[in-house]
Structure 1
Amino acid sequence: MPKVTRHTLEPLHDTVIFAGGASFNVHRIIMCNCSIYFEALFCRHTACTRTHFAIPDVSAEVMEVIIDFAYTGSVTVTEDNVQQLFIAADFFIITDIVEACIKFVEENLTPENCIGVRRFAIFCPQLQHKAHFLLTNKFEEVVSSEEFLQLTWQELSDMLDSDDINVNEEKTVYEAIVRWIDHAPVHRTTYLAALLLKARLALCSIADIKSMMSNPYLRNNTQCVQIIINALQLKYRLLNATPPMTFCSNYTARPRLPNAVMFAIGGWCSTHVTNIIEVYDIRADYWLNITDHQESPRGCHGTVFHNGFIYCIGGSNGEDACNNMRKFDVKRCIWLEAAPMNHCRCYVSVAALGGFIYALGGFDGNRRLRTAERYRPEINQWSLIASMHDVRSDCGCAVFNNKIYICGGFNGKIVLQSCEFYCPKSNQWTRFADMRTRRSGNGVILYDSHIYVLGGYNGLSRLRSVEAYNPRTNEWHQRPCMSSFRSNFGIEVINNKLFVMGGYNGIDIKSFVEYYSAKTNKWSRACPMGTARCGVSCCVLSNYPNLKQYTMSRDSLPHLEGVQNLEESVRVHLQTPCTNQPDTNTDTESFSTGVLHLGPNPARCDTKIWKTLDPVDPCFLQGFVSWFGVAGLLCWGVAGREAKLVGRASSPNLLLVSKPVARLHTWTRLGRLA
């Protein structure tokens, strides 16, 4: 039987629709069945006898797609028609087409188009939310798009004001502002100071803040100069605090929210197992305790995040090895029971791959295991897979290139040096190159395209050495050692840094946390956990919509008093722009002991260029004398308690020489050279 279409039924049509300069022969009953809009249009008492209807503001191409859908029930959404088709389908109340358009846009949502989608989807909260989430989460990529350059200054200001935008360095925000200004400098420099206020400049390094003054947009704008000076002042106050601080609740040094957090769950505390759960906020360098005291304690277990749940697998309750599994719903913050494993497994290695959760080896309370099994969340069921070549417990594993790599461990007699990987496709284990060192209680993780193995116990002592396996060459290479010896510790990668936390050093259980950066090839300290633990298991929750509830409240950070708020003066500037050139008339009455002031005549501007800068960084002053010399610079040097007038800069040729001692605000020598 031939397929029935609109065209095969055309001789039987009873209505004509006009749209976009074209006419379409249709059948009322079919169009009414498709949309209540057409039902209302055709069935009004004045329309019963009409046969011709004009549809305004709909192109002929879109109208044809909608009519074809009415006859066939199928629709083809393309990049060229999706926007107009969505608008028309929403107008005609054709839900199936609207949903098809939304699905198409969601599947094709990228950092390059998310700004446009967010504007377009103003009447579709679901789509707008997804576009906004991508915009904030992939901000560094969005900045490189063409759509970014088309933002209004208010849109950009609102975007930069958000704690949610994800940037590894705040310098990225400054660079985004400059890129936006560069696109149309004549019209956009007016908004520079207002936008610069939205950057958390005190989170940048001192070198980065100083380098900003080389930008002509900033150094020729008195308000921008003041903003940078305030940021430096706050930066030095943080560094000179006791103990030194990295950030505070003051806006200029307020850390943004992370796009990933790290959970550290359970473990052993001295003589007992614990149920403590701490979450690490990497941007605030802070551990947040979210322990549910109704949950049973667990140590030497495995933890993975999969599809909105954190799974805690096996381990020990302090007396026996366990086969049970609990899962934490991160959206609802509740614990749920899940199917138990086929075997009890303490010191188990776990991994998530291809929609399955794997549990490998371990200790069942009597013997070490080489068996392995995997869990399918959709049916809540465990099933056995091929056993490993070696019996092993107390080791780690990592996923790379759709394979699970497991390294080292303990077989009940000796500490192992051997390694093997599992291929789910073939259900087979394959050996690969042995490690350089025997290790049990070691950490194993994928980082920088290598399998990293860290620390552990070699049968004689705890280790701090690190080695990395290159799967492409089947070779192991040494990496810088950790600063502390540790075994049975937590390990994870977050924000391109490899973190290790807690563990046992052979004497004590530690709370100490450090991280390794492949970029710098160095280890650095991080905030220690609130509770010292070994046998702790960790996982990372990333790119998840409700991470804020697992972060430190930014309003609870310490607030530094005496930091100037420039927002009001910049707001006035936007309403009544003042000159972008620094004034050459210096107010010589605005100086005080121990501080540096540079200010234009108060009668000519509401705010001075320089306010109190304490502590003063002489290196910073040396870098900027040549520019400020044009405006006239009066420098005061402080030696002990005595303030001395050094001289007035009358030309850019003045060179300021100084050497900081003890504290940054002490100058030992200040002079002028030709």
Structure 2
Amino acid sequence: MTSLPVHSEDLQLPASLTRTYTSKVHGGDILRGLNALRAEDSLCDVTLTAERRSFPVHRVVMAALTDYFRAMFTGPLRESRENCIELLGVTAVGLHHVIEYAYTAQVRITPDNILDVLEAANHLQVKSLIDVCCNYLREGLELKNHRAVLAIADACGLTHLRVSVESHIVKNFRLFTEEPEFMELDYMKLCSFLARDDLEGCWELSLFDVAAQWLLNKPERLQYARQVMACIRFPLIREDLLKEVVESQYDFMKRNPTCEPLLEEARQYHSNVLMQPALQTARTRIRNTKEHMLVVGGEGDLGVMDSVFEVVMEARVNRWDRPTLPKAMAYHRVASLDNFAYVVGGQNAVNHPVDLGRSGISDVFRFDPRRNDWTQVTSLTELRTDFALVEAQGCLYAIGGRNQTENCLSSVERYDPKQNLWSRVADLPEALHGHAGCKLGGNIYISGGFSLQLMMRISTVYRYDIDGNSWHEESGMVTRRAWHNMAAVGNKMFVLGGNEKNANGEEIDLKLVECYNPSTRQWTVMANMPVPQSESSCLVLDEKIYVLGGYRWDTQQFLSVISQFDPAKNEWCICNHGLPEPLSGVGCCTMVFEKRWWQENQENSD
């Protein structure tokens, strides 16, 4: 019973009033109290020594800090019974900072004491202090000290620090090749660098040149010519430079029988432009790991466009002009396959609304970011516009649409890029145009569109079984729609925007977004779009859906907006940078491009 003048029942508190409180200052108060006791040498029960310096401490504090001291003080070791313990393998400076860290959670690291502190933290297994030291070394990384930091990482077994140093070298590889240490690399380490995809900002010809200089630096290194040169991506070097520089200026490339096949591989690649998709290897891959958006064509106030843009969401300068399309196109479809962009079908109409497919085209163009140019490949077997194009299992599927003779198409054709050939597969269950499609798992899904059979927009969803070459009806959407978008993220699909007609036959823009789970065959309504976007295009980048451009029927305006949807958060936002001009019927996809000037400028300004 307490000595207070009241009893608990006098408070008349409800029984449900039970709370758990966590103090934000208690931990700091405890540390300050313990440190004050240590400063007064009060209740200290053991003295640690290093290099003849003594440090009175509390066993319980040091045992709580690290398993090293816990085992020392609580186990059967003789140190558990001693009052003074000499620590070997640490300096007095290092031990002092470990103890200060234990009692204050703070440590002051300088260039003069970093080695002492890290060695002591590593020896005494103070993991959090090791991380602090590694972060300090990362912050001070420069090309002139990376060898010393690598030596520290290896001596202390700090794999994560070694990875950080190597990443720093990769990020600054062009400058690193000018350092004397580059010529001292062993061939295995050189190859490990040259094989990386994230070796950005280096022209392939420059990489070849520094690799050749490394080989010629010591005669005995030529025995590694094949291993080193196999890491150079010769197909990415222009054909004229292969002859003028690689073959003409470096005789060992022609004399060495193990290097000649690498040059022949590049020659074959350059001489078979149409068949390059079938010749893809690790040596045809661009050295970059970040995907960006490619936006192609579209219709605006000035008519049908031939413009091509690389949209870079994270860069301060957010777009880079690419070679224009071979012809102006709109309401076409674009897909990326093996890091080639295929621009398929569409039309060359100049008036809005679209001309019912009468100006539909069958052309197919392929953009290669390695060469930064366009190649015309085999055309569709039918003219198509307002259709769906889906990449699946290494092929492209052109589904439905309309053209000058057919208001709606049910036909489906598949493109094999390795054969440069279109072939027919199973028709849609009904003729459609203005529908949308995407791939999920081993299936292709088609949603909505305008049905020739019903002469109206529909909410029907069809699934194409690729292996079985057959179509099956799925659960329909909540809302009828056409000229909308469809994308898959994770194990779900999303339909976004589009339009419907009201009872008066007027076009009604839709903001409604729906999510489909194929495993439950259920649709869920998601957050509305911030802006209605009909006749737009969409893509998925970093698990987010981007909707680009489009047309608003309520205001009869083309749009330049780029909207971003985060399915994980069910949230929309308007991107700071839109299309360079209002456009509908654009085509878009994601691709990996070579590192450009805007990336270097951004890094230099950060």
What TM-score does the superposition give when structure 1 sets the normalisation length?
A: 0.45
What TM-score does the superposition give when structure 2 sets the normalisation length?
A: 0.50
